[in-house]
Amino acid sequence: MSPERARTQRITQRAGVRTTSLRSIGMPRGLLVRVDASAHPIAVARADARGQRHAESRVEQVEEVWRVAEAWWRESTQARTYYRVILEGGRPLTLFRDDATGAWFEQAYSTPGHTTAHE
């Protein structure tokens, strides 16, 4: 454990806060995604912090696809491909694929009309 993480853990324990309940705000949450031959998502599942896989939800429709490439002039760029999908049961979800690593993440929103996979 890093010294900074140990310090944070000690502070939160003294304050009576369970450290397992803390989560950074606005951090992307990893998803497990199955894709079709075109690399579009066809099913989405979340894994918890212990790696336990939750139930998979089928993607009924891909509504929109867009790509964001930030700081392309820098050595360490950030490129993502976003998908706005409708999951089985009609739940909307925006997710993205980190184009550098291939990892998938949920894009959380706080505005009405946008929901996340865990709602």
Domain boundaries, the chain: 24-107
Mean pLDDT of the chain: 80
Which has more pLDDT, 39 or 70?
A: 39
What is the pLDDT, as a whole number, of residue 108? 78
* Confidence label for 8 from pLDDT (cuts 50, 70 and 90): low
Long-range CB pairs of 104-107 (<8 Å, 24+ gap) are 104/30, 104/31, 104/32, 104/33, 104/41, 104/44, 105/28, 105/29, 105/30, 105/31, 106/28, 106/29, 106/30, 106/31, 106/46, 107/28, 107/82
pTM reported for the whole predicted model: 0.67
Average pLDDT over residues 13-30: 64
For residue 23, pLDDT beyond 60: no
pLDDT tens for each residue of 57-80: 999 999 999 999 887 777 777 899
